[in-house]
């Protein structure tokens, strides 16, 4: 497919705009606290499901403490992509 990057960019912008509209509407209907709590609950469920599929454990505890702390330190400093 020749324009796959352009299609991905258009889809991303569409879903970004729809997310803003949906969160605005639900915030008006049930309140911002309920909206944010539900959003965080769905994110946690999604995270656990993806970790179960990819790593066969709900949260990734198998990474050693040295690896985990080093990764957090690099990402906080913005050096993770280097």
pLDDT tens column, 26-69: 999 999 999 999 999 999 999 999 989 988 888 776 665 555 56
User: What Cα–Cα distance (Å) separates residue 9 from each residue in 3, 12, 47?
Assistant: 10, 5, 24
- Helices 32-55 and 4-30: crossing angle, nearest 10°? 140
pLDDT tens column, 45-56: 999 999 899 888
Measured distance CA(21)–CA(13) in Å, rounded: 12
The domains of the chain are located at 4-77
17 vs 61, which has greater pLDDT? 17
Measured distance CA(32)–CA(55) in Å, rounded: 34
């Amino acid at each position: 497919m020749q324009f796959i990057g352009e299609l991905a960019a258009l889809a991303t912008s569409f879903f970004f705009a729809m997310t803003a509209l949906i969160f605005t509407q639900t915030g008006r209907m049930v309140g911002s606290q309920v909206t944010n709590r539900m959003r965080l609950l769905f994110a946690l469920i999604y995270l656990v499901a993806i970790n179960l599929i990819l790593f066969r454990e709900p949260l990734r505890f198998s990474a050693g403490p040295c690896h985990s702390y080093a990764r957090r330190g690099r990402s906080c400093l913005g050096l993770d992509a280097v």
